[in-house]
Amino acid sequence: MLFFGSSVMVSQFSFIAWGTFMEYSWDIMEPFSYMILLGNFTASFYYYTFKHQDLQLANLSSSFSQRLANRLYKRNGLDIKDYKQKEARI
Domain chopping of the chain, boundaries: 1-52, 56-90
Q: What are the φ and ψ backbone dihedral angles of 29, each rounded to 5 degrees?
A: -85, -15
**CA-CA distance, 76 to 69, in Å (whole number)?**
11
**Cα dihedral value 28, 32, 34, 35, nearest 10:** 150
pLDDT at 65: 84
pLDDT at 32: 94
All residue ranges of the chain with pLDDT < 50 are none
- pLDDT tens per residue across span 58-76: 767 777 888 888 888 888 8
**CA-CA distance, 45 to 8, in Å (whole number)?**
17
